[in-house]
Amino acid sequence: MKKIVTTIAASALATAVYAGGLNTNTNQHAAYQRNFAREATTDIDAAYSNPAGTAFMEDGLHIAFTGQCAFQERNIETKYAPFKMNGGDSIKKFDGEAIAPFVPSLQVVYKKNNWAGFFNFAVPGGGGKATFEEGIPALEKRVASIPLALSQNGITTTKYSQEAYLKGQQMIFGATLGTAYKFNEHFSASVGVRVCYASNQYEGYLKNIKINPDGKEMLANTYFTAAQEKYAGLAKQATEGAAQYEAAGMTEKAAELKAQAAQAKGAAEQMGAYAAATKDIEIDCEQTGIGVAPIISVDYKMGPVNLATRYEFKTKISVENSSNIKPSAALPNELLPYVDGVESRDDLPALWTVGMDCNMTDNIKLCTGYRYYFDKDAHFAGGVEKYVEHGTKEYAYGIEWTVNKWLLVSGTYMRTEFAFADAYLNNINYNGSSNNFGMGGRFTINEHLNIDVAGFFSKYEDREVKINDYAGLGIEGTDNYERKNIAFALGVNYKF
């Protein structure tokens, strides 16, 4: 049971509440929420989306600050027959909320003649909190299996209950610094480097597991501890008796007692394992780590068309646990990766983007963008990258309409496509292909100041996963994953 809770804590919120790949946020500015295709922008958010494009900005100092919030539901409807023993229904729905109440980002660009310097601070990975007030299937299915296993061994057990709670927060902060140069009126290029700091916090518990062996409701740990002591005593008694009979030359009786001792010893070990598995567990774990990666991009501008591409190298991030699970010689091997001081991986995958902006008329702009995340080449907690078939692909489209000198409105659509086997999924780390829709506007206050207001929502594809042996007892089960997402942003842009 400890393994289950800790594994979940270690992977909680690996799925970002914003758009992006398996562990990446591309939502770095309010303008993104109203136009997902920012890969060829030459606006202030080019400091993230198109660094080479900063060389085509107006001379001067440009600063943008954005605040974003996102709300996500992650619902799992599970069908597993033993769930009937806790409420009478084999189908249970587990609801989780992932909330990012405030995620900031800052872009700064200084442009002079053919040179531009840029800085971007944002949250390129993680970016929220997840709370599961009543636990998840991965916890309950193990508890639900205990009464069934007891009944199969002649101890009639028909009910169970538990108290479970999990909360996690994952933030990967990133600061990017670089420079761009415009070689001529058509072409520019840039180089930069991003330093990332991962800060993850997890807490939770699984406690008060109860069962009703032979119709008597009691704490499972109390029952199994008493049973372990009982069988251990019987094993000792039978062993001592066997020794006495053997000394007296009564080998047949000694062999009989030895068999009884072995049987009792096996039962004691089994009860001891159940006792260990049903102890109250609390998780309090923090993870921190640092990673660095270079970023390169180029931009080509010809008349009304602007083309751009960038490549972000993989950011290798090793996070180290600061946990209440301490090293111990008696600790099960499966817990070793999660104890205090142990490191695991939390990479940001390499990313390649290409985009085009086209001014169709003086006040209408069409934008397209494509992103490919090299998720399969990165490393994540638990080694789940081995279940990834290929990297995430995103196709983005946007249209901007300059209504008048003080108002611009835009709408956008993006398709996100993941490719991984069912084995990649777990009850918290869940991604799914999605269709995303956003809209918003920019209000120009004066020649120095404008404000972006935007929002978007994501419609995820449900995914049903059937498991022939759901909890190790040969009984099948089904998890059906549902997910919803909505986000809002307010950004202030100023040019000195």
Distance between CA atoms of 48 and 26, rounded to whole angstroms? 9
62 phi and psi angles, rounded to 5 deg: -115, 135
The enclosing H or E element of 375 equals none
Identify the CA nearest to 150 among candidates 208, 86, 215, 207: 215
The identity of residue 370, as a single letter, is: Y
pLDDT (0 to 100) of residue 223? 93
d(C-alpha 192, C-alpha 315), whole Å: 13
Model pLDDT, residue 166: 81
What pLDDT score does 14 carry? Answer: 40
pLDDT at 424: 81
Q: Which domains does the chain have, with CATH numbers?
A: 2-495 (2.40.160.60)
CB 159 within 8 A of CB 261: no
Helix (H, G, I), strand (E, B) or coil at 229: helix
Please choose, from the candidates 349, 30, 57, 299, the residue with its C-alpha nearest in 3D space to the C-alpha of residue 196: 349
Angle separating helix axes 251-277 and 220-247, nearest 10 degrees:
160
Helix, strand, or coil (residue 377)? helix
3-state secondary structure of 133: coil
User: Residue 344: CB partners within 8 Å, gap ≥ 6?
Assistant: 10, 287, 318, 319, 321, 337, 338, 381, 382
The values of phi and psi at residue 426, to 5°, are -140, 180
Pairwise CA distance, residues 322 & 324, whole Å: 7
pLDDT averaged over 10-residue windows placed end to end, the chain, 496 residues: 40 48 87 97 97 97 96 88 91 84 94 98 81 82 86 90 85 95 97 95 86 91 93 93 90 91 92 86 86 98 97 94 72 58 88 97 97 92 84 96 96 94 76 93 96 95 90 88 92 97
CA angle (52 as vertex; 49, 56 as ends), nearest 5: 105
pTM of the model: 0.86
Q: Name beta bridge partners: 77.
A: 93, 480
Query: How many Å is the maximal CA-CA distance in the chain?
Result: 108
> Which H/E stretch holds residue 474?
none
d(CA 145, CA 141): 6
Return the number of other C-beta atoms located less than 10 Å from residue 151's C-beta. Answer: 14
Q: How far apart are CA 355 and CA 366, in angstroms?
A: 11
Neighbours of 164 (CB within 10 A): 22
- Phi (first) and psi of residue 295, to 5 degrees: -135, 135
394 closest CA partner among 349, 361, 442 = 349
Half-sphere exposure (Cβ direction) of 168: Cα atoms closer than 13 Å: 29
SS3 205: strand
Smallest Cα–Cα separation from 161: which of 214, 90, 85? 85
